[in-house]
Amino acid sequence: MDGFLDTHARSRSRARRAPHELTLEAAKQFLKELPYPALWIDPSRRIRWRNKAASDAYGDGSEPCFRAIHGFDAPCPEHGDRCPMVDPAPGLCPTLRHIHRTGTGPRFYLVAPLPVKADGILVVHLPIEDTLLRDSLTHLYTRTAFEQLAEMQLQLLHRLHQGYAVVMADVDHLKMVNDQFGHPAGDAVIATAARTIASSLRATDCVGRWGGDEFCCLLPSAGRADAHRLVERIEAAFADVRVPEFPAIPIRVSFGIAAATTSYELNRVILRADRALYRSKQTRMN
């Protein structure tokens, strides 16, 4: 597939066997003793199952998640990133900084969503110390916050025997944009690219600004084929995107993919994806 390069080679038979979704019962066996709150929330925002840590933090009531976890009387669109179940934006809402009401006062969490073979979503609330999570230009995770979330999420995937994929993305010709139109135009291109990538992700994926004009996407419980489909969605989205302040500037982005089913060392997988990105970028620019 032109423009797509993958450094993780697997046989077709192995790819077919790669898991893509958890069964709820399999997840429960591990998550029930996890020290972090874990909940299964159905599409009506009811909590259908919770582990002991969630019961200790939020109680055992049958009320919707926004009332049990946040103390709100209604879904909370006015609070932006505080409720992951209000029309979640793929790639953004379920993995934003999360503020919970607990017996000891508010705590900051990152939400790690996991796809399950059941209606709704399984979420694990991972505590985080650094509250400076967002990059000011793109509103994506900073690199530090992304790495912190990714490492914790991969610990869960490892214990649950789930694979994952990484997609690295880099804006093409940004130096030329800066030289011809100025750095405000370059910043606008980066911000538009970030929005376009984030809006193309699954609800269980997350994306951070890796540096400059480069982004890193983590796709839990995904394989190479899932990553290719994601890149196809992003490329299709870019075909219709223009920078609001600079509509004459086209946006092109190169991608690199690496998939893992046994390696849970994130840096190695990101390095493979980054090398694939470099090769893909060279191919597109030649």
**3-state DSSP of 20-34:** CCECHHHHHHHHCCC
Domains and CATH numbers, the chain: 12-18+135-285 (3.30.70.270), 24-127 (3.30.450.20)
At 192-247, the pLDDT tens digits run 999 999 888 876 788 999 999 999 999 988 899 999 999 999 999 999 888 988 98
Does the pLDDT of residue 22 top 80, yes or no? no
Q: What is the dihedral of CA 232, 216, 141, 130, to 10 degrees?
A: 150
Is the per-residue pLDDT at 97 higher than 70? no
- What is the model's pLDDT at position 7? 33
Compute the distance between CA of residue 111 and CA of residue 78 in angstroms, rounded to an integer.
19
Q: Which amino acid is at 18?
A: A
The structure's pTM equals 0.66
Mean pLDDT of the chain: 75
The pLDDT assigned to 190 comes to: 96
CA angle, residues 150, 260, 11, in degrees to nearest 5: 165
pLDDT class of 118 with cuts at 50, 70, 90:
low
Query: In which region does residue 248 sit, left (phi positive, over 0), alpha (psi from -120 to 50) or beta (all else)?
Result: alpha
The residue type at 176: M
What number is the average pLDDT over the span 155-176? 89
What pLDDT is recorded for position 123? 76
Closest CA to 20 of 204, 257, 222: 222
- Cα 67 to Cα 31, 82, 243: the distances in Å are 22, 12, 39
| pLDDT above 60 for 35 | yes
β-strands 164-171, 253-260: how paired?
Answer: antiparallel
Q: What is the pLDDT of residues 267-276, one digit of tens each?
A: 889 999 999 9
Report strand pairing: 107-114 vs 97-100: antiparallel
Phi-psi map region of 183: left, alpha, beta (phi>0 left; psi -120 to 50 alpha)? alpha
Contacts of 12 (CB under 8 A, 6+ apart): none
Q: What are the pLDDT digits (tens) for 119-131?
A: 667 778 777 654 5
